[in-house]
Amino acid sequence: MLAVCRRTEKLVGSVDISGSKNAALPVLSACLLTDDKCVIRNMPDLEDVRIMFALLRKMGKTVKFENNRAEVTGQLRHGALPEKLVRKLRASVLVMGPVLARLKEGSFALPGGCALGERPIDIHLLGLKAMGAAYSILRGRMIFKRNVLKGAHIKFSFPSVGATENLLLAAAAASGRTVIENASVEPEIADLCLFLKAMGADITRTGSVYTVKGKARLGGADFAVMPDRIEAGTFILAAASVGGSARVDSANPSHLGALLSKLRAAGVKISQKENSVTVNSPKKIKPVNIVTGPYPAFPTDLQPLWAVCMMRASGRSQIRDKIFPARFMYVDELKRLGASMVLKNAVLRINTSRLSGTNIYACDLRAAAAMIIAGLMAEGETRVYELKHLFRGYENFFGKLRKLGANVSMERIREEK
C-alpha cells in the first residue's frame, strides 16, 4: 500500500484518539502471569497488537478480539518464542519476565537491531540475572533452564522503558521483594502497574524507584488501556504543521506536557481540557529546539513529527535525540521533498523549507506518519511507500486525517510494467 497526499490548506474539526500501543503490549504480556480470564478494553487494532496476540496463542493462550475488546484466557504452556515473531516485534522481549517467573524456563530468539539504530537488551538481561536467571546462547537463541526468580535490588545504568516493564512483570510473580532503581516513569508503565495491581500485584513507586513484593498467585482483571499519547501528539503536530484548528479528543493532556509547552513557545495556540487538546495554528510559527529524553522530557517518538513542523517555522531550529541518537533515517527522504535540513554530529538542523511532492519511502512507524504530514504540506502530489510501518502503530490513520479534511488516500501498489 502507499499513501497519496496532496497539499491541504488546513486541518479542521475533531479526531478521537485510540488506546495506547505501548501500554497495550506490556499489558498483554502481563496476561501471561495468570491463567484466569483477562479482559482488556480500548485495545487498539494494530499490526503490532496482532503480532502480540499471535505470540500469546503460540504459548497456549486463547485470545478473542472484537470491537477493541480483547479477552485472554487459557493456560500458559510454552516458553519458546519463534524467531519469526520475535523479529517482527521488538516488544516480544516483554514476555521473558512473565514466562521465566511462571515456567522457570524459556527459549527466546535474540532480537535484532532496527531502523532506529542498535537496540540491545543488556539492561533487561542484567536485571533478570540479578533475580537469579541464567542462560546460554545456542543457535541464535537464549536458553533459560531451571530458573527460580527471586526478589533482588537492581539499579539500571539507563532508564529503559522495556527493561522496567520486563522486570516489573517478572518481580510481580517472583518470590520476595524487588527494588528497581533509576527506572523509567513513562505513563505507559503507570498503566501497566495499574493493570498488575488489578491482578493483585503489590507495587509502589517513589520517584524513579519501584518496589515490588512478589505474589505466588495473580488473578484475572478487567482493564481499559490509556489513550495513546504519541498518537495524540501526532495529530496535534499534524494540525500545527498543516495549519488550521483541530480538537484532539480522548487524549490525556497531562501526558503531553513537553510537547504542548514547546508548541506554545513556537506560537501555536493550545487550549486543553481534561480529555482533549485544541490546536490553533497561526500563519507563522517560531523555530524552537528540542532535546528528547526519558519521560517527562520530549518523547523521541514525536521527534520526526517535530522536524516536519519546524520546516514551516521562520528560522532555524535543531533536534538532538538522546534516546535513539541515530533516529534520523527519515531525513534523506524529506530532502527529496525539498526539506532544508543538515544532520551533523547527531544534531539535526532544520531551516524553513518549501516542499514539492515526489515519491518517498517510510523507514519506520513514526517516520511514516511524519512523511504523510509533510506530503500534506508539499505542493503537488506526494506518494509515501512502505506503509506497512504505519499500520504497526496507528489505527485508522487515514480515516482520522480525512475527517480533519486532509487530502490523502491509500492506494494499492500496481506492479511496474
If binding is defined by CB under 6 A, does position 158 make contact with ligand EPU? yes
If binding is defined by CB under 6 A, does position 321 make contact with ligand EPU? no
If binding is defined by CB under 6 A, does position 324 make contact with ligand EPU? yes
If binding is defined by CB under 6 A, does position 370 make contact with ligand EPU? no
Instruction: Rule CB under 6 A: choose which of 300, 318, 353, 382 binds ligand EPU.
Output: 300
Least gap, CB of 73 to ligand EPU (angstroms): 24
Instruction: Rule CB under 6 A: choose which of 161, 180, 285, 401 binds ligand EPU.
Output: 161
Least gap, CB of 394 to ligand EPU (angstroms): 10
Residue nearest to ligand EPU (CB): 162
If binding is defined by CB under 6 A, does position 124 make contact with ligand EPU? yes
Least gap, CB of 322 to ligand EPU (angstroms): 9
Instruction: Rule CB under 6 A: choose which of 3, 56, 121, 319 binds ligand EPU.
Output: 121
Instruction: Rule CB under 6 A: choose which of 163, 256, 288, 387 binds ligand EPU.
Output: 163
Instruction: Rule CB under 6 A: choose which of 262, 312, 366, 400 binds ligand EPU.
Output: 366
Residues 6+ apart with CB under 8 A from 411: 1, 2, 3, 4
The span from the CA of 388 to the CA of 184, in Å, is 29
If binding is defined by CB under 6 A, does position 393 make contact with ligand EPU? yes
If binding is defined by CB under 6 A, does position 119 make contact with ligand EPU? yes
Total residues in contact with ligand EPU, by rule CB under 6 A? 23
If binding is defined by CB under 6 A, does position 302 make contact with ligand EPU? no
Least gap, CB of 248 to ligand EPU (angstroms): 18
If binding is defined by CB under 6 A, does position 25 make contact with ligand EPU? yes
List binders of ligand EPU among 128-157 (CB under 6 A): none
Nearer to ligand EPU, 21 or 312 (CB): 21
The yes-or-no answer on residue 114 being catalytic is yes
List binders of ligand EPU among 60-89 (CB under 6 A): none
If binding is defined by CB under 6 A, does position 160 make contact with ligand EPU? yes
Least gap, CB of 86 to ligand EPU (angstroms): 13
Q: What is the CA radius of gyration of the chain?
A: 22
List binders of ligand EPU among 192-251 (CB under 6 A): none
Closest among 400, 304, 328, 28 to 192, alpha carbons compared: 28
Which strands make up the sheet holding 244-249, listed edge to edge? 11-16, 244-249, 276-281, 269-273
Least gap, CB of 112 to ligand EPU (angstroms): 12
The span from the CA of 40 to the CA of 109, in Å, is 27
Contact 382, 8 (CB under 8 A): no
If binding is defined by CB under 6 A, does position 406 make contact with ligand EPU? no
* Catalytic one of 31, 38, 114, 309: 114
What's the grid cell of residue 156? 539500571
Residues 300-312, buried b or exposed e (16+ Cβ, 10 A)?
bbbbbbbbbbbbb
Active-site positions read 114
Q: Using CB under 6 A as the criterion, which residues of the chain lie in contact with ligand EPU when the complex forms?
A: 21-22, 25, 90-91, 119-124, 158, 160-163, 300-301, 323-324, 365-366, 393
